[in-house]
Amino acid sequence: MKQCRVCATPLSQPSYAAPAPAMTSLSTLIDIPSDVFVCLQCGHIQSPNLPDVQAFYDNEYRISLQSDEHDQLYETRKGKPVFRTDHQAQIVLELDLPQNAKILDFGAAKATTLKKVFDQRSDLIPYVFDVSEDYRSHWASWVDEDNQATYQLPHAWHGKFDVITAHFVIEHVEEPVQILKELAQCLSPEGKLFFSVPDPLGNSGDLLVADHLNHFTEVSLQKAIALSGLKVERINQSDFRGAHCVIATRSNGVGVEPDNLTIQKTVSEANEKLGWWKNVLSNLKDYPNAAIYGAGFYGTLIASRLSGLPICFIDRNPHLQGKKHLNRPVIIPEDCPSNIETIYAGLNPDHAPQILNKEQEWVRPHTDIIYLT
């Protein structure tokens, strides 16, 4: 890795390095080592290009096409699952979109979020873009064929859109500034770009996700936006837990640069979190009769660092029930076998004790809970 993906400053040594396997955002494992670099100049955090990025998105990423219902659980509200696309649609609906707005979902995949928005705002004119042909059948029934594009943004789309959304896309791209520039070009003069990317300092597991080539900090986002001919209207970490949600408009040359002191603080915090992960993962021990709570990212991360696999994964996501993960069954908490003596909390370490603890009825008194700490 030669230079920062945002500010092009040459990079030196990685702040974190671990042997294969590496984690992906789909909670699968790939046979490459993990290296994470922190840019001292702009506070951007990044991972190397995947060895075969095309093969990854063609093969691995099709997983979410296997089922129309496959979707990540965002949270449970009053006992009911709220999926990521439900929550994203809610955020977009709150953007105060003008009547008959032209809205492009960039990196749309199945465009589930835009479809949910469109179901409530049928006046909108939907457009979709992705770097794959695989999703055409999901778009066909409700997006005009002329409003669909793949691989390259059409010239005819320059200056066109009132709103462009990109939900968890920019973290995957090799050249984020180039992509943001292209999106800026496609905005109408008053148009808004809304995008979300993981917040690796708020949810530090993201630092270890190999297909997230970019781990944006607030300062590196500001820098990337300023370099792309855009200006920030809003960045927050509250609309979507564990993520930055950004609204930007065309800057006409008046972008705002982040201040140096904040960049230096960000660099220290990034190095501290990477050091913490190195320490925690090297201290993980194997226990007999163990289960992992969480068949998502953190659960898989724990499994990847143990010598043996757990008896089962325990997870509340109804879409995972009855399935296997890493060749082990995924079960609901109430079905936890009585011989389980140890449960690893495969959850975001910041929230794990609230989600999994001994006060829950299904956790037996003799069971030990191991937190990432």
Residues 6 or more apart whose CB falls under 8 angstroms from that of 295 comprise 27, 313, 314, 315, 317, 320, 325, 330, 346
Token representation of residue 12: 């030196």
Residue type at 321? Q
User: Shortest Cβ distance from residue 227 to Zn ion (Å)?
Assistant: 10
**C-beta closer to Zn ion: residue 261 or 282:** 261
**C-beta closer to Zn ion: residue 178 or 360:** 178
Q: Strand pairing partners for 361? A: none
6: helix, coil or strand?
A: coil
Token representation of residue 271: 């190095």
CB 138 within 8 A of CB 116: no
**C-beta closer to Zn ion: residue 269 or 350:** 269
Q: How far apart are CA 300 and CA 27, in angstroms?
A: 6
User: Shortest Cβ distance from residue 171 to Zn ion (Å)?
Assistant: 15
**C-beta closer to Zn ion: residue 9 or 289:** 9
**C-beta closer to Zn ion: residue 44 or 231:** 44
Q: How far apart are CA 96 and CA 109, in angstroms?
A: 24
User: Shortest Cβ distance from residue 274 to Zn ion (Å)?
Assistant: 16
User: If you search the block for the tokens 């294969």, which residue do you land on?
Assistant: 20
**C-beta closer to Zn ion: residue 221 or 372:** 221
Q: How far apart are CA 285 and CA 260, in angstroms?
A: 41
User: Shortest Cβ distance from residue 262 to Zn ion (Å)?
Assistant: 14
User: Shortest Cβ distance from residue 367 to Zn ion (Å)?
Assistant: 46
CA distances for 39 relative to 12, 107, 150, 160, angstroms: 9, 26, 32, 35
CB 201 within 8 A of CB 229: no
Binding site for Zn ion (CB under 5 A): 4, 6-7, 9, 39, 41-42, 44
**C-beta closer to Zn ion: residue 46 or 148:** 46
Token representation of residue 355: 């989600």
Q: How far apart are CA 245 and CA 158, in angstroms?
A: 24
User: Shortest Cβ distance from residue 214 to Zn ion (Å)?
Assistant: 11
**C-beta closer to Zn ion: residue 5 or 110:** 5
Sign of CA dihedral 9, 15, 18, 22: negative
Parallel, antiparallel, or unpaired: how do β-strands 34-38 and 29-30 relate? unpaired
User: Shortest Cβ distance from residue 42 to Zn ion (Å)?
Assistant: 3
Residue type at 303? A
User: Shortest Cβ distance from residue 217 to Zn ion (Å)?
Assistant: 10
